[in-house]
Amino acid sequence: METQSLERTAHLPQVTEPRNPGMELDLDWVRAVQANTSAIERRAATLPGRRSVKRDYQAAWLLKAITLIDLTTLSGDDTVGRVRRLCAKARQPVAPALLDALGMGPITTGAVCVYHDMIETAVEALEGTGIPVAAVSTGFPAGLSPFHLRVAEIGESVAAGAEEIDIVISRRHVLTGDWQALYDEMKAFRAACGHAHVKAILATGELGSLRNVARASLVCMMAGADFIKTSTGKESVNATLPVSLVMIRAIRDYYDRTGYRVGYKPAGGISKAKDALVYLSLMKDELGDRWLQPDLFRFGASSLLGDIERQLEHHVTGAYSAGYRHAVG
């Protein structure tokens, strides 16, 4: 990783790209996509040891990671109070005294992600901050509710103020190789989102193979996805480095052919600061610096922020603080 300074700067507005308009489904391109599993796994296994940043440089990258977090609560026992606390944390994710010690001005997380019922609460709590509210939709997490209800759910969430919609695809379309059905579904979801950006959750742990992951990534981008996302966080296997490598390279291939940049969101299981550094280095290596901005990269996480705070405090004080001092929500 190249060095980054800890200069005092205000949190900049999100950089924005022209939206991916999608394209006609190119089945020849989709069917030509392959995945060399052994080579992908070997490459992924080298990643944690290939990049090491220390001291001020590590602190700078961890501060960058905070600005890329979709701070998330997706629990059946979510309450208005919990969501308000989460939004307060998104507005001020790091204690001001710690930021002062690091020579940093205010920063925020990339977004707050909630169920539909909590959109209004989150929008109200984040008013005036520029932090977008993301809502999970389309029968999250299984995506098995009737199609017309999934489309309607998107419309309800956009009307309630969600600026980003995290949809789940029908896994059966991937498992049966029905790429036309997946394309048509994703295109309908994109249309229902209107101005709101759409993140396509592939639920990669349930797709059977890395080749299926690569092909599903490509089809969703062809249908107009603004982001492709690994997981709902509810599967038994969520974000992994091999899956991330496959999806990131699909994004690169799509950009090379169309000129449109699509974002990437690993979600589920990323809870340690050291893991965030590995994902950042992977994005930098494979896609370059442009993909290290919140409009093109997000972490779907809830506990990651707490561990990053502990690492930053250790950097400043030389001691680790107790986890309860960095509660989220």
**Mind listing the pLDDT tens digit for each residue in 135-179?**
999 999 999 999 999 999 999 999 999 999 999 999 999 999 999
Predicted model pTM: 0.92
CA distance 114 to 118: 6
Residue 11, pLDDT > 70, answer no
Which residues are paired to 71 by β-bridges? 112, 301
**Domain map (residue ranges) of the chain:** 39-44+53-317
CB 243 within 8 A of CB 213: yes
In CATH, what number does 39-44+53-317 get? Answer: 3.20.20.70
CA distance 225 to 244: 17
Residue 9, pLDDT > 60, answer no
**Mind listing the pLDDT tens digit for each residue in 43-78?**
999 988 766 777 889 999 999 999 999 999 999 999
- pLDDT score at 240: 96
Q: Is omega for the bond preceding 141 within 30 degrees of 0, making it cis?
A: yes
Stretch 183-207: mean pLDDT:
97
CB 94 within 8 A of CB 107: yes
Confidence of residue 327 (pLDDT cuts 50, 70, 90): low
Backbone φ/ψ region at 139: left (φ over 0), alpha (ψ -120 to 50), beta: left
Could you give the residue numbers annotated as active site?
Answer: 166, 229, 265
Q: Give 72's contacts (C-beta < 8 A, 6+ positions apart).
A: 112, 113, 114, 233, 267, 300, 301, 302
CA distance 30 to 262: 17
